[in-house]
Amino acid sequence: GEMNLSKTQLRSALRLYTSSWRYLYGVKPGATRVDLDGNPCGELDEQHVEHARKQLEEAKARVQAQRAEQQAKKREAAAAAGEKE
């Protein structure tokens, strides 16, 4: 059957898909663009490749910052637990 999606739902789904690391890793120079039916429809533009590279770089930086913050909290909690004993 046919699905009825609002523009907002479609936009959200596409944003989720195109911001995934797997998708961003696939956006490479010379890669073939594919239409919604799976047919080749040209090569990726350099500006799209560069945008994907920046998005991936920013996403990795956010993850590293979150991990560093979690590690700092663990160290603080361990230090506080050590002081209580």
User: Which sequence spans correspond to the domains of the chain?
Assistant: 8-84
Q: Dump pLDDT digits (tens) for 14-68.
A: 999 999 999 999 999 999 999 989 999 999 999 999 999 999 999 999 999 999 9
pLDDT at 36: 86
The region, left, alpha or beta by phi > 0 then psi within -120 to 50, assigned to residue 42 is left
The CATH superfamily of 8-84 is ProQ/FinO domain (1.10.1710.10)
Q: Given this model, what pLDDT does residue 31 score?
A: 94
Sequence-distant (≥ 6) Cβ neighbours of residue 31 within 8 angstroms: 43, 44, 49
The sign of the torsion formed by the CA atoms of 61, 64, 68, 73 equals positive
